[in-house]
């Protein structure tokens, strides 16, 4: 699975304002709503589901990256967005590091394989330190889109 298969460009944010976990999740779900990626009537339900998932264990995966996610019946295909916090947010990660880079993913309940493939792709690409660092340093949506395209074209080897 490639980033282009699930990342909604219009929902990418390189200037997340939120300073805590619930705030970041809300800000990113709202960006998906504004981009037309999700039904506005379902936003609150999605935010709640993602927060509930966080209670089971942080989705901070190390290297300053987190992948908040949920399954939700309101989406028909796997969708996601990218958020960058310049300040970093405490996300209760296993390694204790602040998170600067977020991939928020929502998947239909009946497609666990897609969900796993998306997480695999994100992790595999972010193992490349250059890619991970460049993404965190991105200042505009265009920067992010270009980096994701380059990663999709295997220009970063892990």
Q: Judged by CB under 8 A, does residue 77 bind other proteins?
A: no
Q: Judged by CB under 8 A, does residue 57 bind other proteins?
A: yes
Q: Judged by CB under 8 A, does residue 157 bind other proteins?
A: no
Helix/strand/coil percentages in the chain, nearest 5 = 45, 20, 35
Q: Could you tell me if 98 and 29 are in contact, meaning their C-beta atoms sit under 8 angstroms apart?
A: no
Q: Site for other proteins (CB under 8 A): which residue of 11, 25, 65, 82?
A: 65
Closest-CA residue to 50 (of 68, 62, 63) = 68
66 Cβ contact list (under 8 Å, min separation 6)? 58, 59, 60, 91, 93, 99, 101, 102, 103
Q: Judged by CB under 8 A, does residue 151 bind other proteins?
A: no
Our CB check for other proteins shows the closer of 33 and 81 to be 81
Q: Judged by CB under 8 A, does residue 133 bind other proteins?
A: no
User: DSSP code of 7?
Assistant: B
Tokens of 69: 């996610």
- Among the candidate windows 6-14, 23-31, 33-41, 118-126, which touches other proteins by CB under 8 A? 118-126
What is the total count of residues that contact other proteins (CB under 8 A)? 26
For the CB of residue 53, give the shortest distance to other proteins in the complex, in Å.
7
- First-last CA distance in the chain: 16
| Residues making contact with other proteins (CB under 8 A) | 53, 56-57, 59, 61-63, 65, 67, 69, 71, 94-95, 112-113, 115-117, 119-120, 122-124, 126-127, 158
């Amino acid at each position: 699975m490639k980033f282009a298969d699930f990342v909604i460009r219009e929902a990418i944010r390189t200037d997340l304002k939120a300073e805590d976990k619930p705030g970041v999740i809300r800000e990113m779900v709202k960006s998906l709503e504004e981009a037309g990626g999700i039904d506005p009537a379902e936003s609150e339900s999605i935010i709640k589901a993602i927060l509930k998932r966080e209670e089971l264990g942080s989705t901070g995966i190390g290297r300053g990256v987190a992948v908040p996610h949920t399954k939700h019946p309101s989406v028909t295909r796997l969708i996601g967005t990218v958020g960058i916090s310049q300040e970093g947010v405490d996300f209760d990660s296993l390694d204790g590091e602040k998170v600067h880079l977020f991939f928020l993913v929502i998947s239909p309940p009946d497609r666990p394989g897609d969900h796993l493939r998306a997480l695999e792709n994100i992790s595999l690409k972010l193992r490349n330190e250059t890619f991970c660092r460049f993404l965190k340093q991105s200042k505009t949506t265009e920067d992010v889109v270009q980096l994701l395209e380059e990663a999709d074209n295997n220009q970063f080897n892990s």
